[in-house]
Structure 1
């Protein structure tokens, strides 16, 4: 769960998740319009993958990104249990 909260702590990663949640995208499609270098985008995608929020599928030379909600569900369950505090 620590990796999930860390992944969500950056606005660019949250934006990438929003875009990919609407449908699978390539890294380039997900990054379109963002003022970040390819190396920065690779780092953001890697952090999201390590948190389990994205799954990368290789189709030849194209890398497609797929959103996985399970880590968010776990984090939301934790927040709901501790909301009273």
Structure 2
């Protein structure tokens, strides 16, 4: 479960979620990733490092430029984990609806 903990911790920050959303469109240079944010390149690099450590982003260097790419497998694991609870709540709400719709 430590990988799942890292995934949720990495995605708990809005800036990191925005970076993931950008990378869902395709590979991007670090400087292009930083462009929409009102923060330094160093600050964005720290966010990318957290995503990288969680396995959500891979970083490669070509020349002097670092490129980032989304690695979605950890999010699939998180989604699968959450899906079990979604099924639980759908069943519970369905049972509640049936109970409330019963005639007294």
TM over 0.5, yes or no? yes
Residue 71 (1) aligns with residue 74 (2) = yes
Question: For 1:11-41, what per-residue CA distance to the aligned partner results, in whole angstroms no more than 9, with x for missing partners?
Answer: 1000111111101001110111211122211
User: What is aligned with 1:47?
Assistant: 50
Secondary structure of 1:58's partner?
Answer: strand
Query: How many residues are treated as equivalent by the alignment?
Result: 85
Name 1:16's counterpart in structure 2.
Answer: 19
Q: Which has the higher contact order (CA 8 A, sep 6+)?
A: 1
Corresponding position of 1:30: 33
TM-score by length of 1: 0.93
Alpha-carbon RMSD across the aligned residues, in angstroms, is 1.0
**TM-score, normalization by structure 2:** 0.77
Q: Provide, for residues 40-65 of structure 1, a one-character-per-residue CA deviation record: whole Å limited to 9, x for no partner.
A: 11110000001111000110111110
Question: Any unmatched runs of 5+ in structure 2?
Answer: 90-104
User: Where do 5+ consecutive residues of structure 1 fail to align?
Assistant: none
- Distance in 1 (CA, whole Å) between partners of 2:84 and 2:49 is 29
Partner of 2:59: 56
Structure with max Cα Rg: 2
